[in-house]
Amino acid sequence: MNYHDACVLLEIDDVLNIEILKRQYRRKALQYHPDKNKSVDAPEKFNNIKNAYEYLLKYLDNPIMDEEFTNPFENIVKSEYTKILFSFLNNILGTDVQYQDIKSRIFYVIVNKIANCCENKACDLLEKIDKKLLIKISDFFFKYKDIFHFSDDFLKKLEDMIATKTKDDQCIILNPFLEDLFENNLYKLSENGNIYYIPLWHHELIYDNSGSDMYVKCIPILPEHISIDSHNNIHVELNYNIRELWGKNSFEFHLGKNVFSILTEKLKFRENQIIVLQNQGISIINLDNIFDVSKKSNVVVYLQIDI
């Protein structure tokens, strides 16, 4: 085992810290845990993942294994797989603003039933919960389906539930430009005689529209080398030849109408590196006040230098 092989096994890029290491270990361990993954090579892959995790812990000079686990419902954690799963969920639900509102006792009970091969009982519970919470949980399950090992039947039932509960709802998709996000622009939407002002830096908002729900999704139009994550951080891929940077004090790049500058003295002499421009991105989503623009996200630059 070496550093490169360990990072490849855990799907970790050049940026390594203890939080990223633990998150990736949990995810890959759940994906290949022999209790759920019945493929022939799952046990070997699971052991390799554990070995990679232990190697990188030593590399970071951190001997603490992934044993810390704070869960208000300790009585439902019974197996190694479930313990890793709930540790992973606590981390995701505590950091991803998109899913913070699904962290509840009912969610943990549903997950526990799924983890213990009781998908039918989980479906019974999902049928009874509020539509908005069901949609959030469904979105979460589909996003992380590789670690839950759902049956096709369960996913089909989940899709049918959503279709039944949202048959009278309306979905509107807006496609703002990057400039709209940096300028905190609002979109004036008129529906059924009602006026709504949509903050375009949000990903999805739900409005009561004359008795039915109206879902407004903001999907920005972005160049291929730019993406925006759930925290509204902007990820930018840049490629330069070393001759383009040699002898310069700085180099610039554009995000819409905004110009960003990076000092060449901050760069390392290697082909791939990541530069984080703190608090220089778009407004961070605040679900308690959807028009709040006081906090800004980061711009994360993935720089490739052809040497």
The reply to whether 208 and 266 lie within a common domain is: no
The residue assigned the tokens 């022999």 is 34
The reply to whether 139 and 12 lie within a common domain is: yes
The reply to whether 161 and 31 lie within a common domain is: yes
Of 22-26, 37-41, 263-267, 289-293, the range with the highest mean pLDDT is 289-293
The reply to whether 153 and 43 lie within a common domain is: yes
Distance CA 298, CA 278 (A): 5
pTM for this entry: 0.62
CATH code (residue 302): 2.60.260.20
What sign for the dihedral angle of Cα 263, 267, 271, 274? negative
The reply to whether 25 and 101 lie within a common domain is: yes
- In this predicted structure, what is the pLDDT of residue 159? 92
Confidence of residue 74 (pLDDT cuts 50, 70, 90): very low
The reply to whether 188 and 252 lie within a common domain is: no
The reply to whether 34 and 104 lie within a common domain is: yes
H helix runs in the chain, sequence order: 3-9, 18-32, 42-59, 80-95, 105-115, 119-128, 131-143, 145-148, 152-165, 178-182, 242-245
Of 71-80, 143-152, 175-184, 241-250, the one with minimum mean pLDDT is: 71-80
The reply to whether 26 and 157 lie within a common domain is: yes
The reply to whether 143 and 257 lie within a common domain is: no
Distance CA 135, CA 163 (A): 10
The reply to whether 13 and 155 lie within a common domain is: yes
Mean pLDDT of 99-128: 74
Distance CA 199, CA 188 (A): 9
The reply to whether 189 and 263 lie within a common domain is: no
Residues 272, 303 contacting (CB under 8 angstroms): yes
Q: With pLDDT > 90 as the criterion, what percentage of the chain qualifies?
A: 32
The reply to whether 152 and 293 lie within a common domain is: no
Indicate the average pLDDT of the chain. 84
Q: How many domains does the chain have?
A: 3
Query: What is the amino acid identity at position 18?
Result: I
Confidence of residue 116 (pLDDT cuts 50, 70, 90): low
State which residues form the domain around 104. 3-165
The residue assigned the tokens 């969920």 is 89
Q: Does the pLDDT value for residue 69 go beyond 50?
A: no
